[in-house]
Amino acid sequence: MLIKADEYPFHQTAESFAAVHTSDKHWNDGHYICLCDMDGNVSLVSTLRLYQNTNVLDGFVCIRHEGMQHNIRVSRQLRPDFEYRVGPLRIELVEPMKAIRLVLEPNDFGIACDIVCHTVGRPYHGPLSTNRIDGWLLMERMTYEVAGRAEGWIDVAGKRFELTPERSGVFRNHSWGVLRGRGGPPMHASPQPHVQRPTGLRNWVLYTMPDHAGFYEFIEDADGEKWSGAIANVDGSWNKMTGEILHEDREVFVTDVDHDLTFYEGSSRISGGSIAIHDSE
């Protein structure tokens, strides 16, 4: 079958965009959006995601307000309708890489929104993430991260909250590829090998400043040493961390991050602290 995207001359295989290059049921593609107002009144998390090989499009919206979560989950058969929406929830690509619109139309559950997410700086294009254990492909995924500002409104608990670029923050990403755990549990396969994960601190941060944005990630072990091999490059080499300062016209590599963080007693939840970012310039 043909879909609207097939009008564009960007095909990578002889198939139409209605199909993907693999039959792996864990193949998926979609957007994740997280935003809040700077006054702490309301925050929102949402996603829409296609599972082309199981013929499903699903998503959710979760809104936090005054200590309560308000959730809506949606799902439908994907084909033959490739419109990027499920019931009252949809995402519109207003200007790719610059602005996308998240809409949750009024419904029976008392929450709704209409928000345009504006990019600050430029997107962070992460490395291709591939994970094989004894040759078994468990993950092969591409992601780009976007920091920015929100403009629009959220309805929750009978109140409307206006979001302005000056008083809001947005993180969103777009990822696609194979990832175990998405698209349903593995069928007719042996159990996935157990991999011992290091204990310690993982810092995965997107941020916005008045004139730029940025992203960094590192993993430290229990002794505070950055874990070698935490980040894999496409060429097979390893970094102890990754990150970029994202301007409109260029990226500046992050070379290291120092932190002095405090935590709520008896938990791993951060209560405060400071972070110093070192860059290649």
**Which of 281, 10, 244 minimizes the C-alpha distance to 127?**
244
pLDDT of residue 138: 78
88 lies in the same domain as 172: yes
Q: How many CA atoms, within 13 angstroms, populate the side-chain half-sphere of residue 281?
A: 6
| 8 A C-beta contact, residue 113 and residue 153 | yes
Mean pLDDT computed over 218-231? 73
Expressed as residue numbers, the domain containing 166 is 25-179
CATH of the domain at 101: 2.40.370.10
**Residue 128: per-residue pLDDT:** 83
Q: Note the pLDDT tens digit of each residue in 141-187.
A: 999 999 999 999 999 999 999 999 999 999 999 999 998 777 776 66
- HEC string of 32-76 equals EEEEEECCCCCEEEEEEEEECCCCEEEEEEEEEECCEEEEEEEEE
For residues 93 and 231, membership in a common domain is answered with no
In a domain, 186, yes or no: no
- pLDDT, tens digit (0-9, with 9 covering 90-100), for 12-55: 989 999 999 888 889 999 999 999 999 999 999 999 999 999 99
Could you give the 3-state DSSP secondary structure of residue 202?
strand
What 8-state DSSP symbol labels residue 164? Answer: -
* pLDDT confidence of residue 111: 98
pTM, two decimals, is 0.86
Domain assignment of residue 184, yes or no: no
What percentage of the chain carries pLDDT values higher than 70? 91
Q: With respect to residue 17, please indicate whether it lies within any of the assigned structural domains.
A: no
| Residue 9 forms part of a structural domain | no
What pLDDT score does 227 carry?
A: 72
pLDDT digits (tens, 9 = 90+) for 75-129: 999 999 999 999 999 999 999 999 999 999 999 999 999 999 999 999 999 888 8
| Cα gap 96→177, rounded to integer Å | 19
Residue 124 is assigned to a structural domain of this protein? yes
Q: What is the pLDDT of residue 238?
A: 52
Together in a domain, 215 and 152: no
- Shared domain for 119 and 213, answered yes or no, is no
Are β-strands 213-221 and 231-232 bridged in parallel, bridged antiparallel, or unpaired? unpaired
Q: Are 71 and 61 in contact (CB under 8 A)?
A: yes
What is the tally of structural domains in the chain? 2
Considering the domain architecture, whether residues 223 and 98 belong to the same structural domain is answered as: no
Query: 48 and 122, same structural domain?
Result: yes
Q: Kindly state whether residues 95 and 234 are assigned to the same domain.
A: no
Is residue 110 situated within a structural domain? yes
Residue 121 and residue 210 in one domain: no
Domain boundary among 117, 145, 179: 179
Q: Is 5 helix (H, G, I), strand (E, B) or coil?
A: helix
126 and 70 within one domain: yes
The CA R_g of the chain, rounded to the nearest whole Å, is: 20
Q: Is residue 187 part of a domain?
A: no
- In this structure, the answer to whether residues 158 and 83 fall within a common structural domain is yes
User: Do residue 150 and residue 232 come from a single domain?
Assistant: no
Tell whether 11 is covered by a domain: no
69 and 204 part of one domain = no
User: How far is 55 from 25, CA to CA, in rounded Å?
Assistant: 9
What's the pLDDT band for 228 if we cut at 50, 70, 90?
A: low
